[in-house]
Amino acid sequence: MSVTGAQSNGPFRIAIVGGGTAGWMAANLMQAAWRDRDVAITVVEAPDIGIIGVGEGSTPQLKAFFDGLGIDESAWMPACNATYKNGISFHRWSDAEGPASYFHPFPATIDAHTAPAFYFNSHYRRCGYDLEAHPDHFFLSAHLARNRLAPIGSENFPFQMAYGYHFDAYLVGAFLRKNAASDGVRHLEAEVSGVEVSATGDIERLRLKGGGDIEADFFVDATGFRSLLLQGALKAPFTSFADNLFADSAVVMPTPTDPTGLNAQTKATALSAGWAWDIPLTNRTGNGYVYSSQYLSADDAEEELRAHLGLLGSDVAARRLKMKVGQVAEHWRGNCLAVGLSQGFIEPLEATALHLVQSTVETFIDAFDGGGFTAARRSDFNKAVSRRFEGVRDYIVLHYQATKRRDTEYWRDNAANRKRSDRVERLVNCWATGGDLKREVAETGASDFYPLTSWICLLGGYGHYPAGDALRPPPPDIGGFDLSEIFEFVRRCGLNFPDHRRFIDQRA
C-alpha cells in the first residue's frame, strides 16, 4: 500500500476495535477503497459487551454508502427489515397557532419546481403579508410521507427523490459484517483489555482479555461511548455540547407495526422533557424517548413513553440508555481515528450519526491517500470533521431554541437559552428582521450542512411569523405564485409513487 507511515514491511495493518454499525461501516468503506492495495483490516469486537442497538434512522447519505459498495436495496433492505424514509415530521413542538406539526423534507431536484414559491411566501409572510407558508404544502416528499408512499417513482417519472431509510441496527451490523468478511476483512471476537501507547503517543498494540495481543500500523476506535482508544488510552479531550443540548438519556421500547399501513417518515413528537421517535420497520415500530435527566427521572420518562404509546400497565420491556453529547477535540490523533459514538454524538433528532460516521471515514480515506501521516493532513482533517459536527449541532440546537412550547420548565429553559453559535444568532436575527435568509445561509456557511429549505421549514414550521391578526393582504405589486398550480403539481407527481407497504412486500 502506498500510504506512508506503515511500521511493518508486510501489509499495512489496520485494527478496528468495535463491531457496532460504525466499526462495520468503517471496515467496509476502507476495504472497498484499498482492496487492490496491500492492506489487512481486522475488526475486533467483544460480543459480551455488545452494541448499543439503537440508531435506526438515516439521512439520504446511507443510499450513497450502499451504492458505493455496489449493494442493491433489494439485497440489504429485506435482510434488515428496512423501510423508506421521506423525511421527519415534528409534532407538538410548537404551541403557536397553526403549526401543530410540520414536515422536514430531504432536498430533491424536483423541489426546484415548488421551492421558489415556498421561499417567496415565507419571506413575505415574515414581512407581515398573509401568504400560505406552511412547508407541508410545497414539497413532494411531504406529500409522499403524508400518504404513506414509497419514494421510488414509476419508470417514466423523470425525477429521483432523495430519501433515507429505517432499519434494524442489529441486522445492519450483521449484514455489513458478512459483507466485509466476504471482501477479505478479518473478524475477531475478543475483548480488548489493555492498550499500549509508545513514548511518541502512538498506539503500539492491544492486549486481549484471556491472552494474546494485536499489533497494527493504524487503529480505529469504534468502541462506542466507551472510546477505549482515543479518549481512553490517548486521552483526547472531549468537548461537551450539554450547555445547549440538554438531552442525556433515552428509554427505548418497540411496538407492533401499524396494521393500517406503513409510514414512510420518522415522527418526532415533543413530550414533557424531550421528544419521542417513531421509526417504522417492516416487522415492528421502534420507539424511544430522548430526554434530559435534569428534568425527568428515568422511571417517569418510561411512564411517559408508555402513556404516549398507549402501553400503560403493559409489560413490554424497556431499555434505558445514557448519552454523552459532544465531540472529541481531535477525531484523528497519532495513529488512531475515532468513528461513531467514540468520536462524539449529537443527539438523534435529525438521525445524523451514521451520516457523520460515513463522512468521517470517507474524509479520512481521502486525507490518508493524499498525504498519509503528515501532521498538516491530520490537522486539516480534524478541522473539517469538527466543523461538520458543529454545523449539524447548530441545526439541532435551533430546534430547541426556536420551540414555542412553554408548558414545562424543560421547554421554557430551552426557549430562553441563548447559548448558540454566531451562525445561528445571525440566521435568527435575519429571519426576525425580514432579511435575505438565502444570502445569510450561504454567507454563514450554514448551507454546507443544511440547505435553505431546512432552515425555513424549521423556523416557519414552529410558527415564527407575525400573528394571524397582524397579517395584511399582499399588495398586487409583489406578484407571487399561483398556489393551486403548485399544489396540483405536487398531487399529480404523487400519482407516480407506490403504496409503501405494498412496494416493500412485493420486493421481499
| Least distance from ligand FAD to the Cβ atom of residue 16, Å | 9
Angle among Cα 430, 435, 440 to the nearest 5 degrees reads: 60
Q: Which of 164, 288, 334, 461 binds ligand FAD (CB under 6 A)?
A: 288
Dist CA 390 CA 155 (whole Å): 39
Rule CB under 6 A: is residue 396 a binding residue for ligand FAD?
A: no
Q: Which of 55, 135, 460, 463 binds ligand FAD (CB under 6 A)?
A: 55
| Least distance from ligand FAD to the Cβ atom of residue 45, Å | 4
Rule CB under 6 A: is residue 136 a binding residue for ligand FAD?
A: no
- Name beta bridge partners: 13: 40
3-state secondary structure of 131: coil
**Residue 30: other Cβ atoms inside 10 A:** 23
Dist CA 144 CA 165 (whole Å): 14
| Interface pattern 159-198 for ligand FAD (x via CB under 6 A) | ----------x---------------------xx------
Task: Give the active site residue among 63, 85, 209, 324.
Answer: 85
Residues 6+ apart with CB under 8 A from 287: 252, 253, 254, 255, 276, 277, 278, 279, 305, 309
| Least distance from ligand FAD to the Cβ atom of residue 227, Å | 9
Dist CA 303 CA 138 (whole Å): 37
Round to the nearest angstrom and report the end-to-end CA distance of the chain: 40
- Restricted to residues 35-54, the positions that interact with ligand FAD (CB under 6 A) are 44-46, 49-52, 54
3-state secondary structure of 332: strand
| Least distance from ligand FAD to the Cβ atom of residue 209, Å | 8
Interface stretch with ligand FAD, choices 74-82, 108-116, 216-224, 415-423 (CB under 6 A):
216-224
Residues that contact ligand FAD, how many (by CB under 6 A): 39
Q: Which of 13, 18, 61, 262 binds ligand FAD (CB under 6 A)?
A: 18
Dist CA 15 CA 335 (whole Å): 11
Task: Choose between 153 and 274: whose C-beta lies nearer to ligand FAD.
Answer: 274
- Per-residue DSSP letters for 291-302? E-TTTS-HHHHH
Rule CB under 6 A: is residue 348 a binding residue for ligand FAD?
A: yes
| Least distance from ligand FAD to the Cβ atom of residue 493, Å | 28
Task: Choose between 253 and 323: whose C-beta lies nearer to ligand FAD.
Answer: 323
Rule CB under 6 A: is residue 230 a binding residue for ligand FAD?
A: no
Pairing of strands 39-45, 238-240: unpaired
Task: Choose between 276 and 490: whose C-beta lies nearer to ligand FAD.
Answer: 276
Closest CA to 17 of 187, 181, 200, 169: 187
Task: Choose between 130 and 191: whose C-beta lies nearer to ligand FAD.
Answer: 191
Interface stretch with ligand FAD, choices 121-129, 217-225, 399-407, 408-416 (CB under 6 A):
217-225
Q: Please say if 85 is a catalytic residue.
A: yes
Rule CB under 6 A: is residue 222 a binding residue for ligand FAD?
A: yes
Q: Which of 27, 57, 103, 123 binds ligand FAD (CB under 6 A)?
A: 57
Pairing of strands 203-208, 192-197: antiparallel
- Per-residue DSSP letters for 232-277? IIS---EEE-TTT----EEEEEEEPPPTT----SEEEEEETTEEEE
Closest CA to 152 of 144, 112, 369, 53: 144
Task: Choose between 224 and 461: whose C-beta lies nearer to ligand FAD.
Answer: 224
| Least distance from ligand FAD to the Cβ atom of residue 222, Å | 5
Q: Which of 20, 107, 164, 274 binds ligand FAD (CB under 6 A)?
A: 20
Largest Cα–Cα separation, the chain: 80
Q: Which of 15, 34, 40, 56 binds ligand FAD (CB under 6 A)?
A: 56
Output 351-355 pairs: Cβ under 8 A, ≥24 positions apart: 351/55, 351/57, 351/58, 351/59, 351/88, 351/164, 351/266, 352/59, 352/392, 352/396, 353/55, 354/21, 354/22, 354/25, 354/55, 354/58, 354/59, 354/61, 354/62, 355/58, 355/59, 355/61, 355/62
| Least distance from ligand FAD to the Cβ atom of residue 473, Å | 43
Task: Choose between 69 and 353: whose C-beta lies nearer to ligand FAD.
Answer: 353
Active-site residue list? 85
Residues at the interface with ligand FAD (CB under 6 A): 17-23, 44-46, 49-52, 54-58, 169, 191-192, 222-224, 226, 228, 250, 288, 290, 321, 323, 340-342, 348, 351, 353-354
